[in-house]
Each structure stands twice: as C-alpha cells, then as structure tokens.
Amino acid sequence: MLNTLWFILIAVLFIGFLFLEGFDYGVGMLLRILTREDHERRAIINTIGPVWDANEVWMITAGGAMFAAFPHVYATLFSGFYLALVLLLGALIVRGLGFEFRSKEENPRWRNAWDWAIFVGSLVPALLWGVALSNLIRGVPVDRDMHYVGTLFDLLNPYALLGGINMVVAFLLHGALFLGMKLEGSLRERACRFAERLWPWTTGLFFLFIVYSYFETDFVQHVGVNPGVIPVLGVLSLLSSGYFIRRRDHGKGFVLVALSVVFITATLFVALYPRLIVSSLNPDWSLTIYNAASSPYTLRVMLIITLILLPIVLLYQGWTYYTFRHRIRADRPEEMVY
C-alpha cells in the first residue's frame, strides 16, 4: 500500500514535470522555428520567463523523490543511462543560462549563440526523456544485481527513438498552443498556424507509437486487452484537441493537449506498475516498487511530508501563473524583462 502510494506520487511528479516542462521545452524550440527577429524572440522567451525555473524544479523533485522512495531505481537509472543523462544535464545547463543571460547583452552574435543554447537545450531533453521513458517500459538489460549492463546504443533502438520523436512533436504542439494563449499579433498567428500544421503529425506519430508499443512492450499481457479508462482518455483528449486547434480556441486546445500529456504519462505508469524498470534479460530482475524501495519508515515519513508540501507548492505556483496571465506583445520591447 505504502509502496503503491509512492509509485503514484512518483507518477504525479513525472506528470507535473512533463506537463509543465513540456510546453516550456516546446516554447524553447519554437524560439528559433517561429522567428528570426530579436524582439519576437524576446517576446517568446518572456512568455515563460517568470515560470521556467519553477517548472524545471518538477524534474529535480521527481529525481529527488525517486532517490528517497526508490533508491535502487535512482541508482540503476542514472548510472545506467549515464551518457544520455550527461547530455541531458549539459542541455539543461546551457538552456537555463540562455534564458538568464541572453538579453543582458545586445551583441547579436551573443544573442544568437544563446538562442541556439535554448533551442538545443530544449530539444535534447524532450528527445532524451522520450527515449528514456520508452526504454523503461520496453525493457533494458538489467542484471540480477540491478546493474544496467547495456550501452548507450541499446537505448537508441527504433522504438525508443520513436518515443523520443513523439515527445518532441507533442511538446512543440503544446508549446505552440501555449504561445497562442500568451502572445498577440502576427507572432501569435504564426504559432497558431504552426500548431494547426503540426497537429496531424503529432496524432499520426502517436498512433504509430501505440501500434509499435503492442509489438515492443508487454502492455497487453501486463494490463489486459481492455486498457482501462486512462489510456482511452489520453487518446480522446489528443484527438479532440484538433477540433479546438482548427477553431483557434487555444485555451481549450492547450488544456486538451495538457490532458493528453497527463493521461499518456499516466498510461506509461499503468503499463509499468508495479515495476519501475523492466529488465529485458529476465522478468524477475525488474526493479519494482518492492525490491527497489526504501524502508517502510522512510516511505511513511516522506509520504507525510510530501502530502503536506506538494499542495502548498501547487497553490503558490498556480498563483504565479495567475499573476503573469497577461499576454506578451512583441511590439512592446519596453515591457520585456528578459
């Protein structure tokens, strides 16, 4: 029970991370896709300026909570996916510095370099998280001592790469819809058109991924032929988002894509439960919520602390989105902070 609750909490932290960082990464990539004009790029950065750092903390917290609740998963995952994680960390380093440093100097070469940093720093994590999560459910070579015995190239299989591309495309869509809500004028128009053009690709690739998953993972054996309500909701929210995107109702489109991110991530955890890392060598060597967990005492202490703190975090983080709910206008550079 305690272990299951912690499994759910870890899932919640990952959902929070992929929901918030999702559009955040998307916005970072769109910075170079939508425009070459400096004042428009500034506008794009300023849409997430007040919130990107707090969004990123969701990933840090997911990592920290994993360490506290399932230390073996923390140890196996990050020592096993070593080079991928190093690239991810490098991407996040230049991305964060890009946001903070870019507009503090007028030199166009300086700004262009940091714009690349933000673009690559957003693309690489989106791709790598997609690859990593797909591999978790597909199975990775983990031996009886919970040690990852594969290489980086074992992670770069076609299925996981498709998962990574799916995540990049989904985050681009989500980011474009976020910009649709947050911008005004012609830049907003471009973001909207981008979302419209991208939606069929996102949906198509996602269906390809679903089909591929039936062959590459044990989803059907594990969950059953009837997948339950969560995966269905994930698919339905993605499908219905197309209707609102075409009608230029970006608020609803954004919410529906957000819901699809939430439900699809939840589906991943449903497919994993009660495992956290599936061993491709032997099912008995998988890391589960039992053999990878901390002691009941630690799980209990941390559960109480997390259940007290997380709602407070949600309240004040929600308040910041409310405080900065206004739209950004690219033609008003005097209002730009970053």
Partner 1 sequence: MDTLALALARWQFAVLTIIHFFFVPLTLGITILLAILETLYVRTQDEVYKDMVKFWGKVFLINFALGVVSGIVQEFQFGMNWSEYSRFMGDIFGAPLAIEALLAFYLESTFIGVWVFGWEKLSPKLHAATMWLIALGSNISALWILIANSFMQEPVGYVIRNGRAEMVDFFALITNPNVWVQFPHVLAAGIATAGFVILGLSAYLLLRGRRDAMVMRSFRVAAVYALLGTLLIVLVGHTQAQHIVAVQPMKMAAAEALQRSENPASFSILTITDEATGRELISLRIPYLLSILAYNRPSGEVKGIQELQAAYEARYGPGNYVPPINVTYWSFRLMVGAGFLMLALAAWAVYLVARERFADSPRLLKGLVWATALPYLASTTGWILTEVGRQPWIVFGLQRVEDAVSPTVSAGEIAFSLIFLLVLYILGMYAGVYLIGKHLRSAVASPQSVGAS
C-alpha R_g of the chain:
20
Specify the residue, 101 or 212, whose C-beta has the smaller distance to partner 1: 101
| Window 291-330: contact mask with partner 1 (x via CB under 8 A) | ---xx-xx--xx--xx--xx--x--xx--x--xx------
Q: Cβ(233)–Cβ(194) under 8 Å?
A: no
Specify the residue, 20 or 257, whose C-beta has the smaller distance to partner 1: 20
Specify the residue, 103 or 267, whose C-beta has the smaller distance to partner 1: 103
Shortest distance, position 64 Cβ to partner 1, whole Å: 4
Interaction of residue 212 with partner 1, rule CB under 8 A: no
Specify the residue, 215 or 322, whose C-beta has the smaller distance to partner 1: 322
Task: Read off the amino acid at residue 256.
Answer: L
Q: Which of 14, 74, 129, 209 binds partner 1 (CB under 8 A)?
A: 74
Interaction of residue 211 with partner 1, rule CB under 8 A: no
Bridge partner list, 140: 279
As given in the structure block, the two tokens for residue 272 are 């994993």
- For partner 1, the binding residues in 140-159 under the rule CB under 8 A are 146-149
Q: Cβ(58)–Cβ(20) under 8 Å?
A: yes
Interaction of residue 128 with partner 1, rule CB under 8 A: no
Q: Cβ(75)–Cβ(85) under 8 Å?
A: no
Specify the residue, 43 or 264, whose C-beta has the smaller distance to partner 1: 43
Shortest distance, position 202 Cβ to partner 1, whole Å: 28
Q: Which of 3, 11, 25, 61 binds partner 1 (CB under 8 A)?
A: 61
| Window 17-56: contact mask with partner 1 (x via CB under 8 A) | --------------------------------xxxxxx-x
Q: Which of 4, 93, 228, 229 binds partner 1 (CB under 8 A)?
A: 93
Specify the residue, 221 or 323, whose C-beta has the smaller distance to partner 1: 323
Contact set with partner 1 (CB under 8 A) = 49-54, 56-57, 60-61, 63-69, 71-72, 74-80, 82-83, 85-86, 89-90, 92-94, 96-97, 99-101, 104-105, 146-149, 294-295, 297-298, 301-302, 305-306, 309-310, 313, 316-317, 320, 323-324, 337
